[in-house]
Amino acid sequence: MYDVIIVGAGPAGASAAIYTARGNLKTLVIDKAPNTGALAITHKIANYPGVIGELSGKDLLDTMRDQARGFGAEFIQTTITDVDLEGETKYVFTADGMFEGKAIIIATGSKGRNRMLPGEENLMGRGVSTCATCDGAFFEGKTVAVIGDSEEALEEAQALSKFTKSIHFVVPRPELQGVHHVPELKGTNMLYKTKPLEVLGDKQVHGLRIRTSSGGEEVLDVDGVFVFLSGSKPGTDFLQDQVPLDEDGFMILDSSMQSPVTGVFGAGEVRRTPVKQAVVAAADGAIAAMAVDKFINKRAQLIPQYK
């Protein structure tokens, strides 16, 4: 019997494990693919607080996980086949057996689109990105492509325009969805009814092949490709209606990351948030961990760990 089972070993899950383990809670972290999450495949990070210089997302995660292990957290890599979260004890069934916990933190992040563009996966972190706030500064004075058809894509393009020389905004639809007014963006070429076909490059992005609105094909000469196509969903399918979710599959959580189901908490991209950053997910994990500590020890309020 564990005090807490954390599902997901990304920044939210690893941060939660640091806090629960340090709080003397018996902690188990389960992740089926710890090196394939959004942060793990990020090639360069230069804006994580307390980290000077650049490092890879995997290096940052390895440090966080080692820190959690140092406090006693256990990590296993396996696939979850079923869960039972409705009773006082939380049961997690995996390919390697069943695990029991008094509480559970869901930190499974988000899952990508069903189909990626050819070349997108191989060049992720090498010119391909899904976060302008994270990586925009690496493209100062360069030309990039933004692919998307939503308000999120527009906001990311606005963030990129502060750094880039020019932007090719590739919109597969006739217009941006949910956007009533498209502001004029510096150096931005809007390409409506344009289908992205392939990200080009060997070790680094050097182009994007597209089908234009007229039906012809051409290659955009770009140094980076930022993808904001719809389809990224929270990884909550395995909860099987045992935990309330909103219409898009995000967990319904209060300010302490607690769900309406007793003993079930969430952190990171399983909750609806306008900002997807590693530091935000890590903060969510810390809050969820302290809420778990309050729940298990029947405290009247959260007790932060200051030292």
> For residues 247 and 204, what is the distance between their CA atoms, to the nearest angstrom?
38
306 domain residue, yes or no: no
> Domain of 30?
2-112+232-296
102 and 14 share one domain: yes
Give the domain-ending residue among 171, 201, 228.
228
97 and 236 share one domain: yes
6 and 101 share one domain: yes
122 domain residue, yes or no: no
pLDDT of residue 231: 60
CB 167 within 8 A of CB 144: yes
304 domain residue, yes or no: no
55 and 152 share one domain: no
pLDDT of residue 230: 62
- DSSP H helices, 23-170, are 57-70, 132-135, 151-160
The CATH number linked to 98 is 3.50.50.60
> For residues 175 and 172, what is the distance between their CA atoms, to the nearest angstrom?
8
Give the domain-ending residue among 179, 202, 228.
228
12 domain residue, yes or no: yes
37 and 168 share one domain: no
Give me Rg for the CA atoms of the chain: 21
> For residues 126 and 134, what is the distance between their CA atoms, to the nearest angstrom?
13
Give the domain-ending residue among 228, 247, 262.
228
96 and 167 share one domain: no
Q: What is the pLDDT along the chain (307 residues), one digit of tens a residue?
A: 999 999 999 999 999 999 999 999 999 999 988 887 778 777 778 888 998 888 888 899 999 999 999 999 999 998 888 999 999 999 999 989 999 999 999 999 887 666 789 999 899 889 998 888 778 899 999 999 999 987 778 888 998 999 999 999 999 999 887 777 888 888 999 999 999 999 999 999 999 999 999 999 999 999 999 998 866 678 898 898 899 999 888 999 999 999 999 999 999 999 988 777 899 999 999 999 999 999 999 988 887 765 5
Number of domains in the chain: 2
82 and 96 share one domain: yes
219 and 243 share one domain: no
